[in-house]
């Protein structure tokens, strides 16, 4: 439970840092109408980065489980499950990247 709280706090700090830098730049330069688009764009990019890193760690953990299973069927099944979900995560991150790029180009012109 403590790890989850720590990860949520780190995530919120990361998002807060991104959004505050965008807001600070816009307040200095005067508020523009594309503030919401850029703010959402930065948040989505941060989320994509988190998903990408989590997927890489899931693949590494799955490989570790494969290597240390010693033929144990339960551990091999756990490793296969982790690998399956990591691949799904990578695919979802790639699709999200594509949708974000398309939406950003449509919204910003």
Q: What's the pLDDT score for residue 1? A: 47
Q: How many domains does the chain have?
A: 1
Q: Are 59 and 83 in contact (CB under 8 A)?
A: yes
* Structural domain span for residue 103: 2-108
Q: In the 3-class helix/strand/coil scheme, how is the chain assigned residue by residue?
A: CHHHHHHHHHHHHHHHHHHHHHHHHHHHHCCCCCHHHHHHHHHHHHHHHHHHHHHHHHHHHHHHHHHHCCCCHHHHHHHHHHHHHHHHHHHHHHHHHHHHHHHHHHHHC
Residues 6+ apart with CB under 8 A from 68: 75
pLDDT at 100: 78
Looking at residue 87, what is its pLDDT?
87
CA proximity to 49, closest of 105, 11, 21: 11
- What integer pLDDT is reported at residue 109 of this predicted model? 65
Q: Split the chain (109 residues) into runs of 10 and give each run's mean pLDDT.
A: 63 60 54 67 78 82 88 89 86 82 76
Q: What is the pLDDT of residue 95?
A: 86
pTM: 0.59
- Give the separation between CA 33 and CA 26, rounded to whole angstroms: 10
DSSP state of 46: H
């Amino acid at each position: 439970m403590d790890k989850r709280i720590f990860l949520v706090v780190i995530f919120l700090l990361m998002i807060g840092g991104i959004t505050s830098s965008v807001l600070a730049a816009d307040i200095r330069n005067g508020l523009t109408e594309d503030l919401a688009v850029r703010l959402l764009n930065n948040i989505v990019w941060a989320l994509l980065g988190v998903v990408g890193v989590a997927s890489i760690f899931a693949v590494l953990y799955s490989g570790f489980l494969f290597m240390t299973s010693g033929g144990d069927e339960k551990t091999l099944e756990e490793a296969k499950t982790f690998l399956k979900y990591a691949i799904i995560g990578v695919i979802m991150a790639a699709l999200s990247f594509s949708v974000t790029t398309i939406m950003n180009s449509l919204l910003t012109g």
